[in-house]
Amino acid sequence: MPMDDKALKQDECPYCEGRGYHQPPLTGTETCTVCHGSGEKNKVS
């Protein structure tokens, strides 16, 4: 699904769209490496 089709919530990971996983072509689903499966945007301290 293209990113512009869904409005992300402010705390959602932009890479996996808050799902906690992504689906690269040919390899099946994988845990999102950006949010580590939490679905939340990483907060910089």
pLDDT one-digit tens code per residue, 19-30: 999 888 888 899
pLDDT for res 12: 92
Q: pLDDT-derived band of residue 6, with 50, 70 and 90 as boundaries?
A: low
Structural domain of 24: 9-45
CA 9 – CA 17 distance, rounded (Å): 9
Domain annotation covers residue 21: yes
Domain annotation covers residue 4: no
pTM: 0.62
- Over its C-alpha atoms, the chain yields an Rg (Å, rounded) of 11
Domain total for the chain? 1
Domain annotation covers residue 26: yes
Domain annotation covers residue 28: yes
CA 35 – CA 28 distance, rounded (Å): 18
pLDDT for res 27: 82
Q: pLDDT-derived band of residue 5, with 50, 70 and 90 as boundaries?
A: low
Domain annotation covers residue 3: no
Domain annotation covers residue 31: yes
Q: What stretches of the chain adopt beta strand conformation (E)?
A: 21-22, 30-31
Domain annotation covers residue 17: yes
Domain annotation covers residue 25: yes
pLDDT for res 43: 63
Exposure of 19 in the CB half-sphere (CA atoms within 13 A): 13
